[in-house]
Structure 1
Amino acid sequence: MNISIQQQNFILHPLGGLFWEERSLLLISDVHLGKVSHFRKFGAAVPRKAIHKNFVLLDKIVSDFQPFQICFLGDLFHSSLNKEWELFENWVAKTPAEIILVSGNHDIIAPEKFEKLDVKIFPELVLENFLLTHHPEERQGLFTFCGHIHPAVRLQGFGRQHLRLPCFFKSKNQMVLPAFGEFTGTHALKPSKQDEVFAIVEDTVVKV
């Protein structure tokens, strides 16, 4: 879905990323790489093949947009180093875009590890009139893109039917991106009349 914010054009992708056309910048939040390996280490019955799923999805969205830059809006990795770091190294090596990380609360891996891969890390970024950060924050004069919440919307049907769908959640001065990663969970938000909700339904984005 194409939307315009402050006279800039953005594309909402059904995998959960957002592409800023004028800057050829792909925004992705809350991938939580390493979470599957973390769970498996502590005995959770998660299939090994799930480890590769996030990288397949990353390849897909990068292929769709071919961005100049990719900015991860925090929680790129779920926890400390594990076997998935090597997969990330390989993914970075084959991805031609410049990669930036706006650090989140889960990003505890030493910055030096990212620097060796030429991945730049920032606590936040201000580009033109836009604030890129992990935690939701409204700052005067800026429109914020962020993550952290893993937003979802709950849709009620006739009777007791309901759906819980991940979404892009837009208020007047802020958009919260859905979690990109598999096995991340969601948090249902209740929109006000002024909010806009763009739900991800299978392979499309729908305004609800």
Structure 2
Amino acid sequence: MTLEIEINGQTFVLHNSGALYWVGKKMLLISDAHLGKISHFRKHGSALPAKAIFMNFSRLDELVAYFVPEKICFLGDLFHSALNKEWHFFEEWVARTALPIILIAGNHDIVSPQKYEELHIPIVSEWLLDGFLLTHFPEEREGAFTFSGHIHPSVMLTGQGRQFLKLPCFFRSREQMILPAFGEFTGTSVMELKPDDVAYVITKEEVIKISKAL
């Protein structure tokens, strides 16, 4: 379910939900939750199951229960589109979670900042914390290790008989790590592993380190 790694002297725990826990800060990092996406697509005729709306919130509850964090930072694209009925579920989740929440603004975060202010959730463009840059868009910046999202990374695994399997992953290069999308029905982008890259592939049961293309 989890894999513990060290980056620049700090310990992080990778969870197979796609979330990352910063042990020293007792903080959860979650990217690309895309809350509201299921309702948005159902409204426009997509045949997505209504019960899927609650899957993201159930997974968030499980994460909080597992790690017992002191704060949560969303690395952008928290809500997929304009307000819809899932916002009310998000308000309920914030109330029962009762933890400080920070939002790093992403390209999908178009909900009025006033709505977040009402929930006491600050919105920032980035957060530089103890030598780590928390942002939505991947970038390498001198003097900092970056945690980001946006791309929804995955890798393509190959097997015998021309078998292919695409799995989401935490994608780590020398100076940054891109988190997988947390939200359901978000899609992925296949990444090419270079010699210095590492992919931490997530499955339903575990997180697996892969250091070269298979």
TM-score by length of 1: 0.99
Q: Supply the distance in 1 between the matched residues of 2:135 and 2:104 (Cα, whole angstroms).
A: 6
Hey, what's the Cα distance between the residues in 2 that align with 1:64 and 1:165? 23
| Counterpart for residue 177 of structure 1 | 179
Counterpart check, 1:48 vs 2:75: no
Q: Counterparts of 2:17 and 2:183 in 1: how far apart (Å)?
A: 9
- Of 93, 96, 100, 1:94 maps to 96
How many residue pairs get aligned? The number is 208
2:127 aligns with: 125
**Structure 2: 5+ residue runs without aligned partners?**
none
Residue 96 of structure 1: CA displacement?
Answer: 2.5
Query: After TM superposition, what 4+ stretches of structure 1 lie above 6 angstroms from structure 2?
Result: none
Residues 1:31 and 2:33 are matched in the alignment: yes
CA distance in 2, matches of 1:142, 1:124: 12
Match of residue 57 from structure 1: 59
Identity of aligned residues (%): 57
Partner of 1:10: 12
Q: Secondary structure at the match of 1:63?
A: helix
1:145 and 2:147 correspond? yes
Partner of 1:116: 118
Residue 203 of structure 1 aligns to a residue in which SS?
Answer: coil
1:203 to 189, 202, 205: 205
* Inter-partner Cα distance in structure 2 for 1:172 and 1:181: 26
CA distance in 1 between partners of 2:119 and 2:193 (Å): 40
Per the alignment, in what secondary structure is the counterpart of residue 42 of structure 2?
A: helix
Structure 2 distance, partners of 1:66, 1:97, is 10
Q: Secondary structure at the match of 2:151?
A: coil
Please name the residue that 2:195 is paired with.
193
SS at match of 2:32: coil
Letter in 2 for 1:18: L
Q: Which amino acid aligns with 1:54?
A: N
Deviations 1:52-106 (A, max 9, x none): 1100011111111011110000000110000000000000000122111001000
Query: Hey, what does 2:79 align to over in structure 1?
Result: 77
User: Displacement, 1:203?
Assistant: 1.8
Q: Secondary structure, in 3 states, of the residue corresponding to 1:159?
A: helix
State the Cα distance separating 1:159 from its structure 2 match: 2.1
SS of residue paired to 1:106: coil
Q: What amino acid is aligned across from residue 100 of structure 1 in structure 2? A: I
- 1:200, distance to aligned residue in structure 2 (A): 0.4
TM-score norm. by structure 2 comes to 0.96
CA distance, structure 2, for counterparts of residue 167 and residue 32 of structure 1: 17
**Structure-1 separation of matches of 2:41 and 2:20:** 28
For residues 28 and 62 of structure 1, what CA distance do their matches in structure 2 show?
A: 12
Equivalent position of 1:106 in the other structure: 108
RMSD in angstroms over aligned alpha carbons? 0.6
Query: What does residue 67 of structure 1 align with?
Result: 69
The offset of 1:162, in angstroms, is: 1.1
